[in-house]
Amino acid sequence: MKIMITGEMGFVGKETHKLLIKMGHEVVGYDLMNGLDIRNYQQLWNKCLEVMPDRVLHLAAIARFSDADDNPRLAFETNVEGTRNVAEVCKKLHIPLVYASTGSVYMPINEKPPITESFRVSGNSQYACTKLLGEKYVIEHTPHIILRYAHIYGKEKRGHGLIGGYWDRIKRGLKPKLYGGTQSNDFTYIKDIARANMLALTSPWDKWNQIYNIGTGEELSAEKAGEIVCKATGWDGGVQKVKEREVDPGRFVYDTSKAETMLGFQVEYNFERGIREMFSEEGEYDT
């Protein structure tokens, strides 16, 4: 199968590319780092017409909250208008489309987790709102699959979030800062995300035109997650507890039963295993 990946050189794109090649698929990249911009409709149309992929996996986005906050116009042009371009080109060329969305669209969470795909969506950040608007364009195209990722971590994302905050201070010999501690998250390892992408791209037609939560279903408090990071990095110097941040949800954990039942998605990495591999020298796909 020939698969085009927008944002192929990003964090999720590179890991997915590697897995798809391993499984015998042909991958065509479409990435801004190579001068290929989803905001340029004609360029996107020409490329798709040239290679005629069997599927498109749309990952390209302004993917960091801080980047979207700093430049909301660019986030809108990329995540909304760029996604509209991808959806329209796929529609005209009859190419099935898998779209990478985010669990942030469920924020603020006003229902009791675990979060199902039927939870209300609205988004409470620049990033989440643009990704949700992108979903609206994708839904207009058939066939499509929307994957709402939980919090992703992995080697190339060491500098972000709780894990990045802990590691940044640990390597400088400072106590990590624990903001609050009781708030929870669903931490999902990059290799499980790549596997979910592959399952969606290769799924039979009766699994399409659906939204799937992609996570572990493992709810970890910030305090427990921090303890696991400390253990993996060999830090035993304690932590500095500070006030919880208002932006953090009280609880975030997925119900992944729909993806398990319909896509056959099963996580292979709990947080402890993923963190251990993330901080190891090497780590390849299990066979």
Closest CA to 142 of 197, 98, 109: 98
236 vs 134: CA distance, rounded Å: 44
Closest CA to 176 of 185, 166, 168: 166
Buried b (16+ CB within 10 A) or exposed e, 34-50: eebbbeebeebeebbee
Q: Which helix (H) or strand (E) holds 210?
A: strand 210-214
- Got the DSSP string for 15-32? HHHHHHHHTT-EEEEE-G
* pLDDT score of 159: 66
Q: Which helix (H) or strand (E) holds 220?
A: strand 220-221
* pLDDT score of 247: 73
pLDDT digits (tens, 9 = 90+) for 109-137: 999 999 999 999 999 999 999 999 999 99
- Domains belonging to the chain, first-starting first, are 2-156+187-217+254-268 (3.40.50.720)
* pLDDT score of 249: 86
180 vs 177: CA distance, rounded Å: 9
* pLDDT score of 215: 98
Grouped pLDDT means (10 residues each) for the chain, 287 residues: 98 98 98 98 98 98 95 98 98 97 96 98 96 97 94 84 93 95 96 98 98 98 97 95 85 98 98 94 43
Antiparallel, parallel or unpaired: β 220-221 and 184-185: antiparallel
* pLDDT score of 156: 84
In degrees and rounded to multiples of 5, residue 5 shows phi and psi of: -115, 115
Contact 67, 124 (CB under 8 A): no
* pLDDT score of 268: 97
98 vs 254: CA distance, rounded Å: 20
Closest CA to 254 of 134, 104, 131: 104
* pLDDT score of 281: 53
Contact 268, 195 (CB under 8 A): yes
The token pair at 152 is 């992703």
